[in-house]
Amino acid sequence: MWLELFLFVLLVLLLRYYFTRPSGMPPGPMVIPYVGNSLFPTISVVKKLRKKYGDIFKTELGQNKFIFLCNYKLIKEAMSRTELSDRPHLDLGFILSEGVPAGVIMTNGKHWQNARRFLLRNLRDLGMGKTYLEDAIQREAQLLVEDFKKHSGSPTLFPKSLNVAVLNVVWQMVASTRYDMDDERVLSIIKIIRSFETTSVLLILEFIPFIKKIIPDFIKNRLSLYTKMANLRKEAKTLIQDIKTAHRAQLDPDNPRDVIDEYLIAMDNKSDIAEYFSELDLVCVTFDLFNAGFDTTSNMLRWIILYMIKYPEVQRRVQEQIDAVVPRDTLPSYQHKPNLPLVEAMIQEALRFSSMVSLGVQRSPDRDIQVGGYLIPKGSFVFPATVCCHYDPQYWEHPDQFRLEHFLDDQGNFASQKEGFLPFGTGRRSCLGESLARMELFLFSSALLQNFTFSAPEGCEVNLEGDPRLPSVRLAHDQNIVITPRTKED
């Protein structure tokens, strides 16, 4: 009796699954109904599936459909469409707001449009991408150089000051605040954020939510999932609330100092968009900028250091050009940039070779759409797999080699415009801080290479694999390196 009932229910579910599936979707591996055909796909899996199924294919996890775009022109065309402007809703994206859409990175529609427009306007007014922001970056670069000197000589992990220096640049625009290189409060929040980035089990719980209900509490406690969430929420909210309270007390509507001042003024303004500026949104937008302010750029600087260790001849070429252009007692500036094509080419090649956000920033169509001749159902997760572009022999002569010549012309000049290159994304959701990130990467990396030579500990090789706990993002392994101060004779 029970067996027959079970088989009947199973048959009904299978029939429902197959007869309600939309037709015309991209090809992909065989799917187990209601389970899918993969865990969250890793970069290596995506590369293998591309070889088998082509430039657009599908995998499934639970009820979620993952569509991967692996061709430069396909990505450019798809990401420019307004129907693909939304981000998929993930609870992990709203830890501070406890699931309520807020902030700028993960919100959609008018909420996102107003938040992004507000931030772009005010960050530009406050100096993003302009030369007078250079002074703030160079101050941090000088302090970073001084801190690196303290770690020189013997093998050391990447100095934590790398995170704080990068954060301080954007944080001065956001909150008129900078932190000491060893500020424990900031380092604590950064540590918690890093722990989330390397907890891939959270992705499984996100995409197969019923598992969350059946995992025993002792396992959840063992994984510290909810403790981490609570700690991050508490630490970040406390930090931001303290800053907000101080800003409110000193607010002068006629003379805003930073993004938080501008936000408080917008909250007080009874305009038709005031509904998108709330206390909760202020906390979440500020945290979005805090997170973005240190994470990607500081990680990219780690990759640059690791590549200089792996390819010492490249490090030597870059240093020789810096020495020929910039006096040793002067930090490199944007004024020197046109005469430092090797520095620019090295940064671009590091962005390509690392392909840090390898599977791109996920999008989700707000309606059924056609891409590349296939149906992309509403609510799917669409991955612009930029790593496939960055290693496509159609665009790169030697895609598996770290070569400055990929970004130099025949005369040795910097070639900035390259097809097949999307390190900051494309379309309406492209990185809003790209100009700031490029300025930071140039000034920080050139200052470090002017003052130091980086190498591996004796008898060791640097690890360039990226953290295996992250399926779609390549974070540089924290590992021992040797920092050697350069002399005038070097």
Specify the pairing of strand 381-384 against strand 369-371. Answer: unpaired
- CA–CA separation, 280 vs 261, rounded Å? 15
Which residue in this structure is represented by tokens 């130091």? 452
Q: What pLDDT, in 10s, does the model give residues 80-138?
A: 999 999 998 877 667 777 778 888 888 999 999 999 999 988 888 877 656 668 999 99
DSSP of 250-269: H--TTS--SHHHHHHHHHH-
Q: Which is it for strands 64-69 and 381-384: parallel, antiparallel or unpaired?
A: parallel
Sheet with 64-69, side-by-side order of all strands: 56-61, 64-69, 381-384
Query: Which of 62-66, 67-71, 290-294 has the least mean pLDDT?
Result: 290-294
Tell whether the model's pLDDT for residue 481 goes beyond 60: yes
More confident site: 253 or 189? 253
Report the pLDDT value the prediction gives residue 12, as an integer from 0 to 100. 54
Average pLDDT over residues 386-402: 96
Cα–Cα nearest to 377, from 76, 67, 37: 67
Binding-site entries for heme: 431
What's the whole-number mean pLDDT along residues 256-276? 83
Q: 424 Cβ partners below 8 Å, 6+ apart? A: 430, 431, 434, 437
What confidence tens digit (pLDDT) does each residue in 419-477 have? 999 999 999 999 988 999 999 999 999 999 999 999 999 999 999 988 766 777 898 98
By the 8 A CB rule, do 87 and 93 touch? Answer: yes
CB 383 within 8 A of CB 362: yes
Exposed, middle or buried, 61 (CB in 10 Å: 0-12/13-18/19+)?
A: buried
Question: Could you write out the DSSP letters of every residue in 286-329?
Answer: HHHHHHHHHHHHHHHHHHHHHHHHH-HHHHHHHHHHHHHHS-TT
Tell me the binding residues. 431
pLDDT at 223: 54
How far is residue 233's CA from residue 452's CA, in Å, rounded to a whole number? Answer: 38
Check if the beta carbon of residue 452 is closer than 8 Å to that of residue 484. Answer: yes
The token pair at 337 is 């940039």
**pLDDT band at residue 41 using 50, 70 and 90 as cut-offs:** confident
Instruction: Using the predicted structure, report yes or no on whether residue 410 has a pLDDT greater than 60.
Output: yes
Q: Structure pTM?
A: 0.90
pLDDT of amino acid 222: 55
Q: Which residue has the higher pLDDT, 22 or 267?
A: 267
- What is the band of 411 on the pLDDT scale with cuts at 50, 70, 90? very high
Burial annotation 268-290 (CB, 10 A radius, 16+ → b, else e): eeeeeeeebbeeebbbbbbbbbb
Q: Which of 96-110, 185-199, 225-239, 376-390 has the highest mean pLDDT?
A: 376-390
pLDDT at 190: 78
> Structural domains in the chain?
24-485 (1.10.630.10)
Q: Is the pLDDT of residue 199 over 60?
A: no
Question: SS3 of 60, please?
Answer: strand
- With b meaning 16 or more CB within 10 Å and e meaning fewer, what string describes 105-141? bbbeeebbbbbbebbeebbeebbbeeeebbebbbbbb
pLDDT at 182: 84
Q: Return the pLDDT at 226.
A: 61
The amino acid that residue 270 corresponds to is K
Residue 204: predicted pLDDT: 61
Measuring CA to CA, how many Å separate 101 from each of 70, 98, 106, 284, 288? 30, 9, 7, 9, 13
pLDDT tens for residues 279-329? 888 888 888 888 777 788 999 999 999 999 999 999 999 999 999 999 989
How many Cα atoms are found within 13 Å in the side-chain-facing hemisphere of 254?
A: 0
Higher-confidence residue: 206 or 15? Answer: 206
